[in-house]
Amino acid sequence: MEQKENRLKEQILSLVKEYYAETFGKSKEFIPGKTFVNYGGRYFGEEELVNLVDSSLDFWLTAGPWAHRFEKRFADWLSVKFCSLTNSGSSANLLAFMALTSSELGERRIKRGDEVITVACGFPTTVTPCIQYGAVPVFVDITVPEYNIDVTQLEQAYSKKTKAVMIAHSLGNAFNLKAVKEFCDTHNLWLVEDNCDALGTEYTLDGETRKTGTFGHIGTSSFYPPHHMTMGEGGAVYTNDPLLHRLINSFRDWGRDCWCMGGVDNTCKSRFSKQYGELPLGYDHKYVYSHFGYNLKVTDMQAAIGCAQLEKLDQIVSARRDNFNFLKERLKGIKGLILPEAEKNSNPSWFGFLISVAEDAGFTRNELSEYLEKNRIQTRNLFAGNLLKHPAFDEMKKSGEGYRVIGELVNTDFVMNNTFWIGVYPGMKPEMLQFMVDTIKDFVASH
C-alpha cells in the first residue's frame, strides 16, 4: 500500500512540474508601454508549486512538519536562535509588541500608558499594536534621502514612561542601528526591528556584519507576495532570547502556557501534576492560558512554499541589489529628482527604489506618478506618508490624547507630498528597468 502511495505521489508531482513549465515557465515578450511593469509580485519556480502540492497531499493543514522545518532553516539563515512563523507581517508586529506586555517581564513590561518611540512615515501596522493595547506612540521625524528615523530626536522623545523603540528599516534601507542601539542600551529600552521590507539587509556594527532584524530584542518579517520572499500570506518573529520566544509563541497560540508543538503532548513531563492560577491541581497543562492571546499560526502548505523560497533567498537579495544599482546609476544627476542613499555601514536589500521630487522641480510627485502609470509602470507612495494625517487618527486628535509628536515632522510631510517608489523585484527584466529609466527621463525633459 505504501509503495503505491509513493508511486502515485511521484506521478502527481511529476505532473505538477509539467504544469508549471506549461503555465508559468514560459517567458513573455516585454512590449514597452503595453506590458505592465509591476512594482513587485510573486517570484517562484517549480519547486514552490511542487512543495505546495506535496504538503497538501499530506493533508496536515495547520502548522506541522513543514512549518517546523522552515522555522529552523530561517533562524539559521538569519543566525538567530529562535523563529516563530505567523500568518502575516502585521501579526508578526502584533506578537512582537504583545510579548513585551507580559507580566513575566516584571518592571520592563510595557503597560498601558507607557511610551514607545516610533515614526509616522511608514506602514501603519508597525504602530497599530501599540495604539490598540493602550500604550502611547511617540512620533519623531525621519531624514531624507535615507527615509529612516532622525536619531538626533531620540533624547528629546525620551521620558520616564518610555519602554521601547519600535521602527522599521524603510524600504530595505537600515536605520542607524548604532545610534538607536546605544540609545536603547543607555535607557534600558526594548528594541523591536520591523524588518518586513528589509529581509537580507546587512549592517556592520563594531566590526561585525549581521542581518537586520537580529540587532534588537525582536525582529519581524513579512512574506506577502511583493516582499523579498513569499508564502502568499505569512510572517515571522525572531529573537535570541528564550523567554521572549516562549512569550511570542504563547500569544500566537491562543495565549496558552504550554509550549508543546502541534501534535505533541507532555514536553514538560508534568502535564497533569502542577497547579496554575486558581485552577485545580493537575489541570491539563495544554489548556492552561497565561496570556490573552490569539490564533495566528500558518498552514503547513504556506510553510512548504516558504521552504522552497528560502533556498533562493540569497539570489533574490542579490537581484534586488543589482536592479537598484541599475536604476541609481542611470537616474543620477537628473534635475529635480532626489535619489535614495543607503545608511552608513549598511548593505541594503532593497524593497523598492525611492524617488522624491524636489520642491523646485517644476513638476509634482503626482504628475510624475500619473505619467508613469499611464505608461503602465506601477508606482507606490511610501505607505502612509504621514500616518497622523489619516482618518484613523481623527478621534485621537479630537481627544488630544493617545500619542505624542516631537517637532513638526517636516520631512515626514515632505515624503507624504513628494515621494514615491518603483520596483526592483527579481522578476524585473533589464528591458523593464531601462524602460522605467527612459520614461522618467522623457517626463523630466518635457517639464
Q: Which residues are catalytic?
A: 227
What would the grid cell of residue 53 be?
502540492
Question: Which residues have a Cβ under 8 Å from the Cβ of 342 and sit 6 or more positions away?
Answer: 146, 173, 174, 348
Residue 191 and residue 108 in contact, taking contact as beta carbons nearer than 8 Å: no
Q: What's the CA gap between 384 and 351, in Å, rounded?
A: 16
The distance from CA 24 to its chain's CA centroid, rounded to whole angstroms, is 27
Nearest to 365 by CA among 437, 438, 417: 417
What is the arrangement of strands in the sheet containing 202-205, beginning at the earlier edge strand?
208-211, 202-205, 346-347
Q: What's the CA gap between 292 and 294, in Å, rounded?
A: 7
Residue 221 and residue 92 in contact, taking contact as beta carbons nearer than 8 Å: yes
Positive or negative torsion for Cα 115, 116, 117, 119: negative
Q: What's the CA gap between 299 and 315, in Å, rounded?
A: 26
Between the alpha carbon of residue 104 and those of residues 35, 135, 307, 312, 315, the distances in Å are: 55, 18, 33, 39, 41
Q: What's the CA gap between 92 and 133, in Å, rounded?
A: 15
Residue 204 and residue 192 in contact, taking contact as beta carbons nearer than 8 Å: no
What would the grid cell of residue 398 be?
479630537
